[in-house]
């Protein structure tokens, strides 16, 4: 480890702490009222969207109506995407003559892009036409905006009182897309091209290399897709190797710009939350808890990657850092930072081959996802999940001191705790059961690439990534087989709707309640004690369920590796 590698995550967190306020304030204005400098341009577009869809943006909805509208837009989005991918060979903008996307791949991909997972069982440059990539891009705007609508319901539960309604879904969705996704992605794309990414509709280039051989170089509208994939915490990249591909991230400057892009909204919504409940200290307490877990993860991952693989180090070369599946322009430090962030902030695009990480380096990424992606997480749902943990933390604190738990002036009753527990148990159940089935069936076992405990990690990683709506992968697993296409598809659905709808219900239930003034018996939720309690809840209640898998997978492999054993 070097100091230069070590300071990188700290710099990123410092930058994000500075950007939280301006972006959070902007988000508050977009969703909760107030004017922004973009209103003159986007206002007409917004009104047009309402008009052609027959939407009344003023109509307030109960959480159930809000939730049903959310499901409807995802269901229709799935069907449209499914059809468009299946008929791509008959549509224009297909210079590489890609044929129809196979059935199970389409099934998986359509789910993947509407749930903001962007798990990719296909490799972009050999499967998708340019037009299909553009359909996928549209969902990369829509699905993260839906993530914010999830969060708004829960936060309005705290910010409103004696209210049967939680806002208008269509208005929140349209404003999330037009005011947040579109302008930032446009700016982001132009910067990415300036930093080197291509943006064209040219046929694949045929080059005669300097040495005289033939090389076909894939082209396409790369920057526009990369920009929204990072900004929207989607991770659905243009190429198979995603952000490791030199066209997607040509240099460290481009990669770090993408890092900031991906961080913006997850950090912004924390500040927005503080403004909505009118308690900014509360928002900063959550920011600090997330940052602490992020920094520990980043340093740990960097430590294991820099120490490298003792089996290889034993050969006696000049350097020790693990460079299998990494790119020279990023090096070990920046790659480790990006791989930690991609699983914590949940964008899921990789700048390395995660399958080739050291066992414990890989464990950090697995852990990040198994927390339920609450270490910032993607748009809205990251903070929403963290608020689920907050509910559990105040409940646990209430049990310890024998008081009725309350948070932000709302009494937390049995109903809210049950719903928050569902949010916790459903993903764990899905990941563990699906992993277990895969390890006991031929279809599951035959898809494993690496031998030994690493194979178990590959499978657990796939379902963790699916349920967490992350989308990064241990790439060795043959995820495009019908078995993994179907089961990871199922995992992505479980990790989106059954996981977060209980928290929508919490929002609806809290909105109905009256706020009670804080008293001497109220457990303070802004200080270091609470931050510590919250982190412990995430680690002990959230991730410890997975410990047996960690022990049999990455931890077993680590000890084997130290002992010099190959499988």
Partner 1 sequence: MVRYLFTSFRLLVFMILLLGLGYTAVVTGVTQVAFPYQANGSLVKSHGKVIGSTLIGQSFTSPRFFIGRPSATTPAYNAASSTASNYGPTNPALVKEVKTNIAKVLKQNPGIKKSQIPLSLVESSASGLDPDITPASAYLQVARVARVNHLSKSQVNNLVKSHIRGRFLGIFGNSYVNVLRLNMALVKMTHHP
Site for partner 1 in 297-326 (CB under 8 A): 308-309, 311-312, 315-326
Instruction: Report the residue number, 126 or 404, with the smaller CB distance to partner 1.
Output: 126
Instruction: Report the residue number, 89 or 324, with the smaller CB distance to partner 1.
Output: 324
Binding mask 416-445 toward partner 1 (x if CB under 8 A, else -) reads: ------------------------------
| Rounded Cα–Cα distance for residues 467 and 434 (Å) | 10
Q: How far is the CB of 88 from partner 1 (least distance, A)?
A: 13
Stretch 361-400 residues interacting with partner 1 (CB under 8 A): none
Stretch 34-53 residues interacting with partner 1 (CB under 8 A): 45, 48-49, 52-53
Binding mask 266-285 toward partner 1 (x if CB under 8 A, else -) reads: --------------------
Q: How far is the CB of 32 from partner 1 (least distance, A)?
A: 22
Q: Are 122 and 128 in contact (CB under 8 A)?
A: yes
Instruction: Report the residue number, 281 or 565, with the smaller CB distance to partner 1.
Output: 565
Stretch 6-35 residues interacting with partner 1 (CB under 8 A): 7-8, 11
- Residue 19 Cα distances to 36, 136, 309, angstroms: 17, 29, 38
- Give 386-452 as a 3 state SS string: HHHHHHHHHHHHHHHHCCCCEECCEECCHHHHHHHHHHHHHHHHHHHHHHHHHHHCHHHHCCCCCCC
Instruction: Report the residue number, 66 or 423, with the smaller CB distance to partner 1.
Output: 66
| Rounded Cα–Cα distance for residues 566 and 453 (Å) | 10
Query: If binding is defined by CB under 8 A, does position 72 make contact with partner 1?
Result: yes
Query: If binding is defined by CB under 8 A, does position 334 make contact with partner 1?
Result: yes
From 28, 113, 119, 170, residue interacting with partner 1 (rule: CB under 8 A)? 170
From 199, 481, 509, 522, residue interacting with partner 1 (rule: CB under 8 A)? 199
CA-wise closest residue to 531 among 397, 410, 378, 341: 397
Q: Give me the DSSP letters along 82-109.
A: HHHHHTGGGSS--TT---PPPHHHHHHH
Q: How far is the CB of 248 from partner 1 (least distance, A)?
A: 9
Stretch 201-260 residues interacting with partner 1 (CB under 8 A): 201-202, 204-211, 213, 215-219, 221, 223-225, 227-228, 239-241, 244-247, 250-253, 255-256
User: 36 forms bridges with which residues in the sheet?
Assistant: none
| Rounded Cα–Cα distance for residues 518 and 522 (Å) | 6
Parallel, antiparallel, or unpaired for β 410-411 and 205-208?
Answer: unpaired
Query: How many residues line the site for partner 1 (CB under 8 A)?
Result: 130
Instruction: Report the residue number, 56 or 162, with the smaller CB distance to partner 1.
Output: 56
- For 565, counting Cβ atoms within 10 Å of its Cβ (0-12 exposed, 13-18 middle, 19+ buried), the class is exposed
Instruction: Report the residue number, 200 or 278, with the smaller CB distance to partner 1.
Output: 200
| Residue 419 CB contacts under 8 Å (≥ 6 apart), including other chains | 502, 503, 505, 506, 509
Element housing 216 (H / E)? strand 214-217
From 57, 203, 476, 482, residue interacting with partner 1 (rule: CB under 8 A)? 476
Instruction: Identify which range of 103-111, 159-167, 187-195, 510-518 contacts partner 1 by CB under 8 A.
Output: 187-195
Instruction: Report the residue number, 454 or 496, with the smaller CB distance to partner 1.
Output: 454
Tokens of 194: 């300036």
Backbone angles phi, psi at 214, to 5 degrees: -100, 135
Q: How far is the CB of 413 from partner 1 (least distance, A)?
A: 30
To the nearest 10 degrees (0 to 180), the angle between helices 252-276 and 8-32 is 50
Instruction: Report the residue number, 184 or 344, with the smaller CB distance to partner 1.
Output: 184
User: CA geometry: angle at 450 spanning 448 and 456, to 5°?
Assistant: 60
Tokens of 100: 């129809």
Tokens of 217: 């170089």
Q: How far is the CB of 385 from partner 1 (least distance, A)?
A: 25
From 353, 371, 378, 470, residue interacting with partner 1 (rule: CB under 8 A)? 353
Binding mask 121-140 toward partner 1 (x if CB under 8 A, else -) reads: --x-xx-------xx-xx--
Stretch 502-541 residues interacting with partner 1 (CB under 8 A): none
Instruction: Identify which range of 17-25, 366-374, 436-444, 446-454 contacts partner 1 by CB under 8 A.
Output: 446-454
Stretch 478-497 residues interacting with partner 1 (CB under 8 A): none
* SS3 (DSSP) at 208: strand
- For 40, counting Cβ atoms within 10 Å of its Cβ (0-12 exposed, 13-18 middle, 19+ buried), the class is exposed
Tokens of 200: 């064209």
- Residue 344 Cα distances to 294, 296, 299, 472, 541, angstroms: 7, 11, 13, 11, 17
Q: How far is the CB of 552 from partner 1 (least distance, A)?
A: 14
Q: How far is the CB of 513 from partner 1 (least distance, A)?
A: 27
Q: How far is the CB of 551 from partner 1 (least distance, A)?
A: 16
Q: How far is the CB of 367 from partner 1 (least distance, A)?
A: 18
Q: How far is the CB of 95 from partner 1 (least distance, A)?
A: 12
């Amino acid at each position: 480890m070097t100091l230069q590698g070590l300071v990188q995550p700290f710099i990123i967190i410092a930058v994000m702490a500075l950007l939280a306020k301006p972006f959070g304030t902007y988000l508050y204005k977009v969703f909760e009222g107030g004017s922004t400098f973009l209103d003159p341009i986007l206002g007409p577009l917004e009104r047009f969207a309402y008009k052609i869809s027959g939407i009344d943006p003023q109509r307030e909805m109960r959480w159930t109506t809000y939730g049903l509208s959310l499901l409807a837009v995802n269901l229709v989005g799935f069907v449209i995407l499914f059809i468009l991918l299946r008929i791509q060979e008959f549509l224009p903008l297909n210079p590489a003559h890609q044929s129809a996307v196979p059935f199970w791949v389409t099934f998986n991909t359509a789910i993947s892009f509407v749930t903001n997972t962007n798990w990719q069982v296909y490799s972009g440059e050999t499967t998708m036409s340019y037009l299909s990539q553009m359909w996928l891009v549209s969902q990369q705007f829509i699905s993260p905006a839906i993530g914010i609508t999830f969060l708004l319901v829960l936060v309005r539960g705290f910010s409103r009182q004696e209210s049967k309604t939680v806002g208008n879904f269509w208005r929140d969705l349209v404003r999330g897309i037009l005011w947040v996704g579109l302008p930032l992605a446009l700016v982001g794309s132009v910067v990415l091209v300036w930093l080197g990414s291509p943006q064209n509709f040219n046929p694949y280039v045929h080059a005669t290399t300097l040495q005289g051989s033939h090389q076909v170089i894939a082209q396409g509208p790369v920057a526009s897709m990369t920009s929204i994939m990072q900004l929207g915490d989607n991770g659905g990249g243009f190429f198979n190797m995603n952000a490791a591909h030199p066209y997607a991230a040509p240099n460290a400057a481009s990669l770090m710009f993408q890092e900031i892009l991906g961080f913006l909204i997850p950090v912004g919504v924390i500040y927005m939350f503080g403004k909505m409940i009118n308690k900014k200290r509360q928002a900063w307490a959550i920011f600090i808890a997330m940052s602490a877990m992020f920094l520990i993860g980043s340093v740990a991952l960097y430590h294991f990657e820099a120490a490298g693989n003792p089996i290889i180090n034993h050969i006696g070369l000049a350097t020790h850092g693990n460079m299998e599946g990494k790119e020279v322009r990023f090096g070990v430090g920046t790659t480790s930072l990006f791989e930690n962030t991609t699983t914590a902030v949940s964008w899921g695009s990789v700048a390395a081959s995660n399958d080739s990480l050291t066992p414990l380096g890989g464990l950090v990424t697995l852990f990040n996802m198994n927390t339920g992606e609450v270490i910032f997480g993607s748009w809205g749902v990251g903070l929403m999940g963290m608020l689920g943990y907050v509910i559990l933390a105040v409940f646990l604190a209430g049990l310890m001191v024998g008081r009725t738990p309350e948070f932000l002036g709302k009494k937390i009753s049995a109903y809210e705790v049950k719903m928050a527990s569902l949010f916790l148990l459903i993903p764990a159940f899905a990941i563990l059961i699906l992993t277990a089935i895969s390890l006991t069936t031929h279809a599951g076992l035959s898809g494993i690439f690496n031998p030994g405990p690493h194979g178990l990690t590959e499978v657990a990683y796939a379902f963790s990534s699916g349920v967490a709506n992350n989308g990064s992968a241990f790439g060795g697993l043959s995820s495009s087989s019908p078995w993994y296409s179907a089961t990871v598809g199922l995992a992505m659905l479980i990790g989106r709707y059954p996981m977060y709808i209980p928290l929508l219900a919490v929002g609806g239930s809290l909105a109905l309640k009256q706020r009670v003034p804080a008293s001497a018996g109220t457990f303070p939720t802004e200080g270091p004690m609470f931050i510590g309690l919250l982190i412990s809840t995430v680690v002990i209640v959230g991730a410890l369920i997975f410990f047996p898998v960690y022990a049999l997978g990455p931890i077993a492999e680590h000890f084997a590796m130290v002992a010099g054993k190959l499988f």
